[in-house]
Amino acid sequence: MILYGVRRLALAVPLLLGMSVLIFALMRLVPGDPAIAVLGYKATPEGIRALREAFHLDEPVPQQYLRWLGAAARGDLGHDFRQNEPIGRMILDRLPVTLELTLLAALCTTLIGVPLGLLAGGRRGGAADRAALAVGLVGVSIPDFWLGIMLILVLSLGAGLLPSGGWVPFAESPMDNLIHLTLPALTLAVSRAAVLGRLTRAAVLDIMHRSFVQYARAKGLGERAILFRHVLPNAAIPIVTVVGLQVGYMLGGAIVVEMIFTLPGLGRMTMDAVLERNYPVVQSAVLVIGAMFMLVNLATDVLYGAIDPRARRR
Amino acid sequence: MTDRDRPTGFGQSTRREWLTRVGGLAAGAGLAALGGPAARPAWAQGQPKRGGILRVATVDKPVNMDPGFAQLYSSLQVYQNVYNKLVYVDETGQFVPGLAKSWKADGEKAWVFDLVDNAVFHNGEPFTAKDVAFTFNRLLDAKNKLPMRVFFSPVEGVEAIGSHQVRFSLSRPFGPLFAMLSQATEIVNEKALAEKDPKLFPIGTGPYRFAEWVKDDHITLERWDKYFRPGRPYLDRIIFQAPADDTVRLTGLQTGRYNWIQTVPPQRIPELERLPREMKSSPGRPYFPFYLMLNASRPPFNDKRLRQAIAWTIDRSEIVKLVYFDTHVVTAEPTPEPSPWATGVNAHKGGPDLARAKQLLADAGKSGGLNLTYLVKSQVPVLVKTGEILREQLKKVGITLDVRPLESGQYFEELVGKKFDVAGGYWSVTVDPDMFYYPMQHSSSAWNFCGFKSEEADRRLDAFRFTSSPAARKKMYPELVRWFQEEGSLVVFSNELQRYWMKPNVQGSAPLSSLELRFEDTWLN
């Protein structure tokens, strides 16, 4: 298992390199001069020249890439165009927000989606199954931005139960931190929980027909015991896979939620950087998100081994 | 300081309230009643009280606190409370003392300012004339490459002639000097600039000192107890945040997350005016001209007749009604009333006049039709909609308008490269109309995105700028407005009413022509 982990980590290096080349090239293919984008109405010829010189934008693209790569290898992600702030610091400041939001959302996704799927799969064709399917369908269809605003209107503005946005660091007040992240986490979780619920249902239905389940039933085990002791562990592999993938997507895709709830996260920073043509920020942020995606996949694979002993032997 | 610091929010003391609310909801509590009489003007009422936290939601996030850059209005709105200027402009458009308590002209090419002697910078350094000299000489030194330098080009130098007296020497008479001083230049301290990077941590003499900046989240300012105006400021703290969306800002005001916000969705104003118990607004003031830029550097708008055809076709009232829900005033000049510069001049009075427009098109050989592109930033939906309404209006005279919304980077590239026929825009600098016309229409200006070049225009703008007599400038201004309406390449169509929204207990906040958000005189009842 350790060897497997080391091999996977070693594979990550060329993958990240390839990703960095792709992002570097794509950003430069996007129309719009970054110097003009940053300066806006103050884009005088002198200002444009000065900014391009300061950030080496006047060099050939491959040279710019190699310069950036060399610095990144030394741990220096450079400075952003707008405020000349160290990008490493920018990412470190915002990463905890996105990470915590993602983890909370993943927890909500699992706590909502898995029971929904178990309920539906365990009572196939019944009222509970139909209700769970309907809830799942609605959940999958709702866009995050609409759901977020609705939750604010109902639970914050209407009922005054939860704040409409903002961020309180965990170290400052754990309770306020969690209260402020409740609505954002729910917003992210709902559609993903619906997907997970449907997948869980499908996995449960598949396993329910296996011979060992028939045997357990013949032994006299109750349906609940069968579901939790035999079906769920066997359904766990696809569940863990989907949750792992969703965590990866949420890490990079929480932009809309971060904007609605004014959370100072990585997604919002990256989105602003794309619009500003803030190349070094986009490159570094995407690289960091890509690396986290790979780590999540690795963690998922390691988890397989913990759930299914057969996976360890492969 | 974070979202914990909210009097009606979710801090320690309100968790009990939170639980009570949950119980209330479970018992079937309803929503608050809506409706009520129309809101009264939000003017300062009652006696100022010390204390409290103002939570401000602006439109865009700040990027750079160095006044030498004046980068993005959202940055100025914060640091204008940290620094002071020599002079300010008040609600009536008059110049009033700031760090300069009085001033007098010394001939046509010099001004002497007497400064206050009790101001102290937030690092403990006493304010003196040397700070004023340092501020301007830093600005004027080409080596520093500060963008604001261009606005002070006629200033040759600033010297301290006493401990609290400075002299501005000009290369020529400079009419908008006080407008520039009131809009653009905060006084810095040399030692402070060496102590902290001014882009990230400003240190001034202002009513509030900079406490913290959590990027993408908030900026906190705290009262400066050694402020030179006794008794001011009133507030303990100000927390600035910049939610990206009008709806998020408004919801924040309604939930109590903010108690002051800069804008609301215009279509919701009639509804919000019926909620005086929840919020109120300041009076609206037109300080933000909206206009069309016609690219005069190439065909077709290098032909004045075609520029005039557009000016005679546009229906300003329809645009203001359909796009801006009457939150703008219809105007053909950049500084309408109550600006002291308002003239009422409209060379296209009685318009739209489609017959006249068609005649102009025919005279220019375009009676068969014209295809134009309208360049606009996609992140400004109101200007996109303006283009859509304009498209329908221009159809009536045989002009086809292709509306091209582009995201910011591409928009600026096309604008700066003059790759457009028509572009929608707005301008935030109108304390003196020179600050509108000179950058946008003088042939030497880097902001002349229309590429408009005319010796007559330059002559008129130079005369207006380089005359020191306010009376003489006032006299020449109406004719300047008319000339640019008839010859120039800008079509001003409206002016946005600056109107701020706040909780009923917020007092002493009003829009200013400088667009400053000065909270020195603001208090909470």
Nearest CA in chain B to A164: B252
Average pLDDT over residues B221-244: 95
Average pLDDT over residues B260-282: 92
A174 — contact with chain B (CB < 8 Å)?
no
Nearest CA in chain A to B245: A260
| Residue A303 in this model has a pLDDT that exceeds 90 | no
**Region label for A309, one of left (φ > 0), alpha (ψ between -120 and 50) or beta (otherwise):** alpha
DSSP 3-state percent helix, strand, coil across chain B (nearest 5) = 30, 20, 50
Chain-chain contact of A160 with B255 (C-beta, under 8 angstroms): yes
Which chain B residues have a beta carbon less than 8 Å from that of A275? 379, 407-409
SS3 state at B449: coil
Alpha-carbon distance values, A50 to A81, A82, B39, B43, B522 (Å) = 12, 13, 51, 46, 41
- Give the closest of A84, A262, A269 to B241, CB-based: A262
> Percent of chain B scored above 70 by pLDDT?
92
pLDDT, residue B210, reads 97
Radius of gyration of chain A (CA): 24
What phi and psi values does residue B501 have, to the nearest 5 degrees? -120, 140
Chain-chain contact of B248 with A165 (C-beta, under 8 angstroms): yes
d(Cα A104, Cα A186) in Å, to the nearest integer?
A: 9
d(Cα B173, Cα B466) in Å, to the nearest integer?
A: 5
**Predicted confidence band of residue A19 (pLDDT cuts 50, 70, 90):** confident
Q: What is the DSSP letter of B493?
A: E
DSSP assignment of A250-269: HHHH-HHHHHHTT---HHHH
What phi and psi values does residue B404 have, to the nearest 5 degrees? -120, 90
DSSP assignment of B254-296: HHTS-SEES---GGGHHHHTT-TTT-EEPPPEEEEEEEEEE-T
- Give the closest of A31, A94, A180 to B3, CB-based: A180
Q: What is the DSSP letter of B12?
A: G
Which chain B residues have a beta carbon less than 8 Å from that of A43? 412, 416, 446
pLDDT, residue B23, reads 42
CB contact set of A49 (below 8 Å; sequence gap of 6+):
none
Q: Per the structure block, which two tokens stand in for A125?
A: 């064709």
pLDDT, residue A81, reads 79
The Cα of B206 is separated from the nearest Cα of chain A by a number of Å equal to 23
A29 — contact with chain B (CB < 8 Å)?
no
Residues of A numbered 115-154 whose beta carbons fall under 8 angstroms of chain B's beta carbons: which are they? 149, 152-153
| Residue B10 in this model has a pLDDT that exceeds 60 | no
| Residue B503 in this model has a pLDDT that exceeds 70 | yes
| Residue B6 in this model has a pLDDT that exceeds 70 | no
What phi and psi values does residue A150 have, to the nearest 5 degrees? -65, -45
Q: What is the DSSP letter of B96?
A: E
pLDDT, residue B42, reads 41
d(Cα B327, Cα B286) in Å, to the nearest integer?
A: 9
Chain-chain contact of B412 with A277 (C-beta, under 8 angstroms): no
Q: Please say whether the beta carbons of A172 and A89 come within 8 A.
A: no
What phi and psi values does residue B496 have, to the nearest 5 degrees? -75, 130
d(Cα B485, Cα B8) in Å, to the nearest integer?
A: 51
- Quote the pTM value: 0.83
Average pLDDT over residues B2-15: 40
Average pLDDT over residues A10-25: 85
Chain-chain contact of B409 with A33 (C-beta, under 8 angstroms): yes
d(Cα A206, Cα A215) in Å, to the nearest integer?
A: 15
Chain-chain contact of B10 with A149 (C-beta, under 8 angstroms): no
| Residue B28 in this model has a pLDDT that exceeds 50 | no
> Percent of chain B scored above 90 by pLDDT?
74
A37 — contact with chain B (CB < 8 Å)?
yes
Q: Is the dihedral of CA A28, A34, A37, A38 positive or negative?
A: positive
d(Cα A41, Cα A124) in Å, to the nearest integer?
A: 62
Chain-chain contact of A160 with B4 (C-beta, under 8 angstroms): no
Strands B506-507 and B280-281, by their bridges, are unpaired
Q: Please say whether the beta carbons of B262 and B253 come within 8 A.
A: no
What are the residue ranges of helices labelled H in chain A?
Answer: 2-29, 34-39, 45-54, 61-73, 87-122, 127-141, 144-151, 174-208, 211-219, 223-225, 232-253, 255-260, 266-275, 279-307, 309-313
pLDDT in tens, A20-69: 898 888 888 887 777 877 777 667 777 788 888 888 888 888 998 998 88
Alpha-carbon distance values, B99 to B76, B149, B232 (Å) = 18, 21, 14
pLDDT, residue A313, reads 57
pLDDT in tens, B426-438: 998 789 999 999 9
Angle at A27 between CA A25 and CA A293, to 5 degrees: 85
Q: Per the structure block, which two tokens stand in for B250?
A: 């408004």
pLDDT, residue A310, reads 66
Chain-chain contact of A169 with B2 (C-beta, under 8 angstroms): yes
d(Cα A225, Cα B186) in Å, to the nearest integer?
A: 73
A277 — contact with chain B (CB < 8 Å)?
yes
pLDDT, residue A222, reads 84
**Predicted confidence band of residue B182 (pLDDT cuts 50, 70, 90):** very high
Chain-chain contact of A264 with B217 (C-beta, under 8 angstroms): yes
pLDDT in tens, A102-129: 999 999 999 999 998 888 887 788 888 8
Which chain B residues have a beta carbon less than 8 Å from that of A36? 409, 412-413, 416
Q: What's the number of CA atoms in the CB half-sphere (13 Å) around residue B454?
A: 19
d(Cα B108, Cα B169) in Å, to the nearest integer?
A: 10
What is the rounded average pLDDT for all residues in chain B?
89
| Residue B148 in this model has a pLDDT that exceeds 70 | yes
The neighbouring-strand residues paired with B97 are: B87
pLDDT in tens, B373-399: 999 998 888 999 999 999 999 999 999
d(Cα B257, Cα B218) in Å, to the nearest integer?
A: 13
pLDDT, residue B5, reads 44
* Nearest one of B460, B376, B366 to B415, comparing CA atoms: B376
d(Cα B140, Cα B170) in Å, to the nearest integer?
A: 12
Among A216-230, B67-81, B166-180, B508-522, name the one with the lowest average pLDDT: A216-230
d(Cα B9, Cα B24) in Å, to the nearest integer?
A: 17
Chain-chain contact of B248 with A43 (C-beta, under 8 angstroms): no
DSSP assignment of B330-359: E-SSSS-TTSTT-----TTTT---HHHHHH
- Give the closest of B63, B214, B241 to A83, CB-based: B63
d(Cα A138, Cα A194) in Å, to the nearest integer?
A: 8
- Higher pLDDT among residues B335 and A272, named by residue: B335
Alpha-carbon distance values, B226 to B47, B127, B131, B518 (Å) = 22, 12, 17, 17
Angle at B419 between CA B418 and CA B421, to 5 degrees: 90
Which chain A residues have a beta carbon less than 8 Å from that of B255? 152, 156-157, 160, 163-164
Chain-chain contact of A275 with B408 (C-beta, under 8 angstroms): yes
Which chain A residues have a beta carbon less than 8 Å from that of B241? 166, 262
- Which residue reads 């653009």 in tokens? B184
**Predicted confidence band of residue B35 (pLDDT cuts 50, 70, 90):** very low
Q: Please say whether the beta carbons of A303 and A233 come within 8 A.
A: no
Q: Please say whether the beta carbons of B290 and B376 come within 8 A.
A: no
Q: Per the structure block, which two tokens stand in for A249?
A: 């997507």
ipTM: 0.76
d(Cα B168, Cα B152) in Å, to the nearest integer?
A: 11
- Give the closest of A173, A259, A275 to B407, CB-based: A275
The Cα of A83 is separated from the nearest Cα of chain B by a number of Å equal to 6
Average pLDDT over residues B318-340: 94
Chain-chain contact of A275 with B257 (C-beta, under 8 angstroms): no
Q: Mark A30-58 as b/e (b = at least 16 C-beta within 10 Å).
A: eebbbbbbbbbbbbbeebbeebbeebebe
| Residue B201 in this model has a pLDDT that exceeds 80 | yes
Which chain A residues have a beta carbon less than 8 Å from that of B63? 82-83
pLDDT, residue B31, reads 34
**Chain B interface, mutation test: which of A29, A82, A83, A154, most B Cβ atoms within 10 Å?**
A83
A14 — contact with chain B (CB < 8 Å)?
no
A34 — contact with chain B (CB < 8 Å)?
yes
d(Cα B391, Cα B302) in Å, to the nearest integer?
A: 21
- Higher pLDDT among residues A297 and A311, named by residue: A297
A176 — contact with chain B (CB < 8 Å)?
yes
Chain-chain contact of B216 with A160 (C-beta, under 8 angstroms): no
- Give the closest of B2, B248, B413 to A36, CB-based: B413
Q: What is the DSSP letter of B120?
A: B
pLDDT, residue B16, reads 45
Angle at B193 between CA B191 and CA B194, to 5 degrees: 65
Q: Please say whether the beta carbons of B249 and B243 come within 8 A.
A: yes
* Nearest one of A190, A202, A45, A228 to A106, comparing CA atoms: A190
Cis peptide before B67 (omega within 30 of 0): no
pLDDT in tens, A141-195: 988 889 998 999 899 988 889 998 889 999 999 999 999 999 999 999 998 999 9
The neighbouring-strand residues paired with B399 are: B370
Q: What is the DSSP letter of B325?
A: T
Which chain A residues have a beta carbon less than 8 Å from that of B413? 31-33, 36-37
| Residue B29 in this model has a pLDDT that exceeds 50 | no
Q: What is the DSSP letter of B38?
A: P
Chain-chain contact of A268 with B254 (C-beta, under 8 angstroms): no
Which chain B residues have a beta carbon less than 8 Å from that of A45? 446
Burial class for B387, CB neighbours closer than 10 Å (0-12, 13-18, 19+) = buried
- Give the closest of B200, B214, B255 to A164, CB-based: B255
